[in-house]
Structure 1
C-alpha cells in the first residue's frame, strides 16, 4: 500500500473510510446525557483516534460521513450538514497535524503533534457548533449554553485518545 501524498483514493481506502465512518456514528451514539439537551459522547474520541492512526484524509472523510449519518439517523437532521463539515474538517485537522495526509508506518514524535492537532480540532469544533446551534435554534443564548457540553465532549475525547492511541498504534 503506497503512502505517497498525491495518490488517489483506492477501493481499499474507501472501504476503510466506510468502516471508520460507521465507527464514528456508533461511538457518537455512546453518550452520557446531562443538563438540558446536552450530552457527552465518544464520537470525538473516535475522530481523534482515527486522525492519529490513519491521517487526515481518512479522518476527514470518516468524521464527516459518520457524524452526518448519526445526526440524520438519530433525529438531529437540522445539524446533519453542519456536522458533516464541522466534524469533517476537525478530522482532517487532527489527522493532518498529527500524522499527515495518509497513514505512515512510523509514529516518531506523534504525541506532541497529536496533542496540538486535538486542541486545534476541538477549538474548530466548538466554534463551528456555536454557529450551528445559533443558526438552528435562532438564539445565541442557547448556543452559548451548549459550550460546556462541547468542551466536556472534547475533553473526554482527548483523554480517551491519549490513553488508547499508544495501544492501537502498536497494532497497525
Structure 2
C-alpha cells in the first residue's frame, strides 16, 4: 500500500494542469441525442487514473468536468459532474495504480486492474448521471433515454485509455 502523504505544491500544479486538459478533452465531443454527447473527457480521466493514480485522476475529473459544465452553459450539472467524475477518476486510479503514483508493476497485472477500474468507474458514472438527469429534468424517462450515450462515452473512454496508457505509463514511470 502507498505511504500516507500530503498534497504538495507540485501535486496541486499537476492537478490543475490535468484538470484544464480534462476540460479541453471534454470539449472534444460528438453530439448524440437530446442534450447528450460522446466526448473524450472520460477517456482522459481513465488515462490519468491508469497513469497517475486516484488522487490526480479524481481531482482532474472533478475540477475539469465541473469547469467544463460551468463554462459551456451546463451549470445545473456542475455539482453533479464534480462529484460523479471526481469519484470515477478516483475509482479507476485507485484500482489501476493506487491512491498516489507508485512504481511500475508487471505489465500483465496493470492491464487487468486498469480494465476493472475503468469498468467500475463507468458503472459509477452511469448510475450517478441517471440520478443527475432525473433530478435536473424531472423525468426518469429522459434519464433512461440518455443511458446509450453514457455507455458510448464510457466505452470510447475505456478503449482510448487502454490504447494510450501502456506508452504513457512507460514515459511517466521514467
**TM-score, structure 1 as length reference:** 0.96
Q: What residue number does 2:121 align with?
A: 121
Q: Give secondary structure in 1 for the equivalent of 2:30.
A: strand
Contact 1:5/1:101, CA 8 A, preserved across alignment: no
Measured in 2, the distance between the counterparts of 1:44 and 1:32 equals 13
**TM-score, structure 2 as length reference:** 0.95
Question: Could you list the runs of 4 or more consecutive aligned residues of structure 1 that deviate by over 4 angstroms after TM superposition?
Answer: none
Q: CA RMSD in A?
A: 1.1
Q: CA deviation at 1:4?
A: 4.5
Measured in 2, the distance between the counterparts of 1:107 and 1:53 equals 12
Measured in 1, the distance between the counterparts of 2:26 and 2:160 equals 13
How many corresponding residue pairs? 170
- Structure 1 gap segments, 5+ residues each: none
Contact 1:29/1:41, CA 8 A, preserved across alignment: yes
Measured in 2, the distance between the counterparts of 1:71 and 1:161 equals 22
Q: What residue number does 1:27 align with?
A: 25
- Structure 2 gap segments, 5+ residues each: none
Measured in 1, the distance between the counterparts of 2:63 and 2:3 equals 22
Q: What residue number does 1:104 align with?
A: 102
Cα-to-partner distance string for 1:65-100 (whole Å, 9 max, x where unaligned): 000000000000000000000000000000000000
Cα-to-partner distance string for 1:43-65 (whole Å, 9 max, x where unaligned): 00000000000000111111000
